Amino acid sequence: MQLLGVIGGPEIIVILLIVLVLFGGKKIPELMKGLGKGVKEYKKAMNGVEEEINNITEDTPKEEPQAHVQ
């Protein structure tokens, strides 16, 4: 059941036309602006998480193997 694999060009056009009918031409720029802000915030948050992970891994001292003397 590969339903997501069949979305192509014509299907996307139909979806866009439905969105245009539902929201009208005046609301679409506002929706795209909000979507753009959301994507920007998401990327900003992901970069912040990556920086924190890098800082933690850099601050953690690496343990060197110790020779076991008997």
Whether 17 maps to a domain, the answer reads no
Whether 18 maps to a domain, the answer reads no
Q: Is the pTM of this model over 0.85?
A: no
The pLDDT tens digits of the residues spanning 35-52 come to: 899 999 999 999 998 998
Q: Which long-range contacts (CB under 8 A, 24 or more apart) does 28-33 make?
A: none
Domain limits for position 46: 25-54
Whether 9 maps to a domain, the answer reads no
- Taking only Cα atoms into account, the Rg of the chain, rounded to an integer number of angstroms, comes to 24
What average pLDDT does this structure show over 43-63? 83
Number of structural domains the chain divides into: 1
pLDDT given at position 1? 47
